[in-house]
């Protein structure tokens, strides 16, 4: 397993360093980068299933650093074994960012990651 070195820290740390809320421009930029990353994952058939600020890392400490989605420990491919869909569902992810369908143990779809992105966006912009 190989991972890119991201020396800028995670999004939660940057949020805390800014007093718990990002400005509108910085928040919109972060949300946009995460959304583009999710789009690429979903186009590849991958569901992240644990999107949260701690799992988004900045490449550098620069204000204009690129944000990367990390921690694919709970990720799954939409085309995974159909037998898994017949197995009892399991709750995966971090509760505060988890989509209702995951809490209700329904099958995961890209919408679950989009819901998580919405919770991250709310946190970034409102504190």
Residue 58: phi, psi to the nearest 5? -85, 140
Letter string b/e over residues 41-62, b meaning 16 or more CB atoms within 10 A of that residue's CB: bbeeebbbbbbbbebbbbeeee
69: enclosing H helix or E strand: strand 67-69
∠ CA 43-58-121, nearest 5°, is 65
Does 50 qualify as catalytic in the annotation? yes
Instruction: From the candidates 10, 50, 64, 113, give the one annotated as an active-site residue.
Output: 50
Rg over alpha carbons for the chain, rounded to the nearest Å, is: 15
| Residues belonging to the active site | 50
């Amino acid at each position: 397993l190989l991972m890119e070195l991201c020396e800028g820290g995670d999004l939660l740390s940057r949020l805390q360093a800014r007093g718990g809320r990002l400005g509108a421009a910085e928040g919109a930029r972060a949300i946009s980068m995460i959304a583009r990353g999710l789009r690429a994952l979903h186009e590849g058939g991958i569901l992240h299933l644990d999107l949260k600020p701690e799992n988004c890392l900045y490449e550098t400490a620069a204000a204009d650093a690129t944000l990367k989605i990390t921690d694919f420990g709970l990720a799954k491919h939409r085309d995974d074994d159909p037998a898994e869909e017949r197995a009892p569902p399991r709750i995966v992810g971090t509760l505060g960012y988890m989509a209702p369908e995951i809490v209700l143990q329904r099958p995961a779809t890209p919408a679950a990651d989009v819901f998580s992105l919405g919770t991250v966006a709310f946190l970034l912009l409102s504190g």
